[in-house]
Amino acid sequence: MTVYRSHNALRGPLTPDGIAALTLPATRLGRRGYQTDDVDALLHRLAFELHRRTEERDKARAESQRIKNALRAWQSERARRDGPSRQG
């Protein structure tokens, strides 16, 4: 999947405000609706950004779980090593 690059309001990272302020170009005279290519490009960009952010979130969650597991293992090892006199 390639990154959609635009010369309009879609430059830079997508934000809720940027999407809310987005206006798509009008069609040529005699036609109604949006330019199909512009809508397709926008949808492609939104899908790319959502995919990228989902991957980043999943990596952050996995790293958080890894750190929690390491902390638990460290705490358990320390408790076994130090014995009951250090607990409490």
- Please answer whether residues 22 and 9 qualify as being in contact, where contact means their C-beta atoms are separated by less than 8 angstroms: yes
23 inside domain = no
Per-residue pLDDT tens over the stretch 52-82? 888 999 999 999 999 999 999 999 999 999 8
6 inside domain = no
d(CA 4, CA 44): 7
Residue type, 36: T
Query: Residue 8: helix, strand or coil by DSSP?
Result: coil
d(CA 28, CA 43): 21
Query: What pLDDT sits at residue 17?
Result: 72
Per-residue pLDDT tens over the stretch 28-40? 777 777 777 888 8
Model confidence, pTM: 0.56
Tally the domains of the chain. Answer: 1
72 inside domain = yes
The confidence band for 16, taking pLDDT boundaries of 50, 70 and 90, is low
7 inside domain = no
Instruction: Answer whether residue 4 shows pLDDT above 70.
Output: no
Tell me the Ramachandran region of residue 21: left when phi exceeds 0, alpha when psi lies from -120 to 50, beta otherwise: alpha
21 inside domain = no
* Domain span including residue 43: 34-79
